[in-house]
């Protein structure tokens, strides 16, 4: 089967796990004999080169993802050219944030069969035809509709929102049409499927599936070293506010000052596109008086993650947004770590309190400290959580299982 993958970012020029997961799936499909070509954006990371000749980097990318890039005719022309050259059986859309939202429409006009892999809630904003959205009052979508917030606030100060609401209500000109309307979708969690339903997005249900993220356990072996007593906490991932890293640092500060936790340390690995927030995080240890216990590694290559996991005991996963279904906890669990995390979004499909993780309320540093504390003082609880979580990841959340589900679905469509 010939598959054209269309996505906003693609490794080695990437920011988060969505892109890394996309590459894992692409490479696994290639190993299985499928011919896969990737059409992605011109986004580049300085000093990083790539040699994959089956990746075309030509699409325009709007980094804020708030509004579609200009020149939709040019962008659609790039897709049509890629389709004409490659002649795919399926055009497989992944992350469309920051790309021209008319690309799936152009693929349909070309007579292509489409499928979507949806791994975060931003797909709610992937709509065409919502020309009046920026002038409308805030709409009752479950998640961000992608309208630039400064445009929204500016519009709401005038009479335009009232006029638009009175004249057009919640019609197509305001709401637009979801680009995946009536199309087969692969959701990374049950939660994301529910998000689509809650926002009135009709999909081809009989052709859609839930394909939880999966990892290759062989890349993240559980090291035989003893992880008790718990001494080394870890956060790894994007350094962005919705990940709740500030809450985790505040929780660590509470524990670090308690008797019996003086040896506890907290390592943070990762970067992102929010330098002001990262600076704020770097100031927090000094403000809390815990400079000696917190270590910022910065952004690390993925190849370094197995070593980093091997050196730590507990992964703190403090997300405060509706986390779709994250890859990082799967890697950490396979590596032998216990997880302390929130159950926002799809995380509750993996984290069950005191069974596969210790859970706490999002944004609550006191509750986070409580969860870590309980884990640190109970070796039986620690071992039970590690054992149950490892079993679940190895049985249900492998890359092979994920690609099996995706491949089976694509073959039926193609």
Q: What is the rounded end-to-end Cα distance, in angstroms, of the chain?
A: 8
Interacting residues of 229 by C-beta distance below 8 A, sequence separation 6+: 376, 379
Same-domain check for residues 122 and 67:
yes
Residue with tokens 């929102």: 161
> Which structural domain, as residue segments, surrounds residue 383?
217-396
Query: d(Cα 331, Cα 277) in Å, to the nearest integer?
Result: 25
- 158 lies in some domain: no
For residue 277, being part of any structural domain is answered with: yes
Same-domain pairing of 361 and 379: yes
* 39 within a domain of the structure (yes/no): yes
244: β partners: none
DSSP assignment, residue 134?
A: G
- Same-domain pairing of 222 and 256: yes
| Same domain? 325 vs 406 | no
Indicate whether 390 and 300 sit together in one domain: yes
209 and 226 assigned to the same domain: no
Contact 379, 411 (CB under 8 A): no
Report the SS3 class of residue 195: helix
Closest CA to 312 of 334, 295, 337: 337
Residue 189 and residue 40 share a domain: yes
In this structure, the number of other CB atoms found within 10 A of the CB of residue 168 comes to 16
How do the pLDDT tens digits run along the chain, 414 residues long? 999 999 999 999 887 778 989 999 999 999 999 999 999 999 988 777 787 889 999 999 987 655 555 688 999 999 999 999 999 999 999 999 999 999 999 999 999 999 999 999 999 989 886 444 444 444 444 443 333 444 444 444 455 454 444 444 454 444 578 999 999 999 999 999 999 999 999 999 999 999 999 999 999 998 777 788 999 999 999 999 999 999 999 999 999 999 989 899 999 999 877 899 999 999 999 999 999 999 999 989 889 999 999 999 999 999 999 999 999 999 999 999 999 999 999 999 999 999 999 999 999 999 999 999 999 999 999 999 999 999 999 999 999 999 999 999 999 997
**pLDDT at 208 (0 to 100):** 98
Report yes or no on 145 lying in a domain. no
For position 170, what pLDDT does the model report? 52
Co-location of 307 and 270 in the same domain:
yes
CATH of the domain at 14: 3.40.50.2000
Within a domain: residue 165? no
Residue 160 is assigned to a structural domain of this protein = no
74 and 9 assigned to the same domain: yes
Phi, psi of 147 (to 5 degrees): -75, 135
Whether 197 maps to a domain, the answer reads yes
Torsion angle, alpha carbons of 171, 176, 179, 184, to 10 = -20
* Nearest-angstrom CA–CA distance, 142 and 259: 44
Residue 168 lies in a domain: no
235 and 325 part of one domain: yes
Q: CB pairs under 8 A, 24+ apart, for 259-262?
A: 260/377, 261/373, 261/376
- Give the residue among 235, 220, 233, 389 at the shortest CA–CA distance from 312: 233
- Residue-level pLDDT at 64: 64
What is the Cα–Cα distance from 334 to 215, expressed in whole angstroms?
9
Look at the chain and report how many structural domains it folds into.
2
Report the pLDDT value the prediction gives residue 146, as an integer from 0 to 100: 38
Task: Identify the three-state secondary structure at position 89.
Answer: coil
Whole-Å CA distances, 26 to 5, 34, 38, 80: 8, 9, 9, 21
Q: What is the DSSP string of 318-350?
A: ---S-----SHHHHHHHTT-EEEE--TGGGGGT
Assess whether 57 and 80 both reside in one domain.
Answer: yes
Contact 102, 128 (CB under 8 A): yes
pLDDT in the model for residue 65: 53
Beta-strand relationship, 127-128 and 177-178: antiparallel
pLDDT at position 135 is 47
Least Cα distance to 25 among 383, 405, 386, 354 occurs for: 405
263 and 194 within one domain: no
């Amino acid at each position: 089967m010939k598959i054209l993958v269309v996505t906003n970012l693609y490794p080695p020029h990437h920011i988060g796990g969505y892109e890394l997961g996309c590459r894992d799936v692409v490479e696994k499909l290639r190993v299985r004999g499928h011919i896969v070509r990737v059409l992605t954006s011109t986004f580049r990371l300085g000093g990083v080169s790539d040699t994959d000749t089956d990746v075309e980097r030509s699409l325009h990318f709007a980094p804020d993802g708030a509004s579609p890039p200009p020149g939709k005719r040019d962008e659609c022309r790039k897709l049509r050219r890629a389709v004409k050259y490659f002649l795919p059986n399926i055009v497989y859309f992944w992350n469309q944030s920051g790309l021209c939202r008319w690309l799936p429409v152009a693929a349909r006009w070309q007579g292509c069969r489409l499928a979507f892999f949806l791994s975060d809630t931003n797909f709610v904003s992937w709509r065409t035809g919502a020309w009046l959205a920026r002038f409308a009052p805030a709409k009752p979508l479950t998640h961000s509709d992608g309208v630039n917030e400064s445009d929204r606030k500016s519009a709401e100060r005038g009479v335009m929102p009232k006029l638009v609401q009175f004249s057009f209500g919640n019609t197509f000109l305001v709401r637009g049409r979801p680009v995946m309307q009536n199309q087969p979708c692969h959701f990374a969690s049950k939660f994301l499927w529910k998000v689509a339903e809650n926002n009135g997005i009709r999909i081809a249900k009989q052709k859609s599936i839930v394909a939880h993220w999966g990892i290759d356990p062989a890349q993240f072996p559980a090291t035989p070293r003893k992880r008790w007593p718990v001494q080394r906490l870890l956060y790894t991932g994007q350094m962005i506010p919705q990940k709740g890293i500030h809450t985790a640092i505040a929780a660590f500060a509470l524990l670090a000052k308690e008797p019996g936790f003086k040896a506890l340390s907290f390592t943070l690995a990762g970067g992102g596109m929010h330098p002001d927030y990262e600076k704020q995080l770097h100031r927090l240890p000094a403000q809390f008086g815990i400079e000696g216990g917190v270590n910022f590694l910065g952004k690390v290559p993925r190849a370094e993650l197995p070593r980093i996991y091997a050196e730590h005991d507990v992964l703190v996963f403090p997300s405060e947004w509706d986390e779709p279904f994250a890859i990082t906890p799967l890697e950490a669990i396979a590596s032998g770590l216990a997880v302390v995390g929130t159950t926002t979004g799809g995380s509750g499909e993996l984290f069950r309190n005191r069974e596969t993780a210790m859970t706490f309320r999002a944004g609550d540093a006191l509750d986070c400290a409580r969860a870590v504390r309980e884990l640190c003082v109970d070796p039986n609880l620690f071992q039970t959580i590690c054992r149950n979580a490892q079993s679940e990841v190895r049985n249900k959340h492998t890359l092979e299982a994920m690609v099996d589900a995706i491949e089976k679905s694509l073959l039926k469509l193609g």
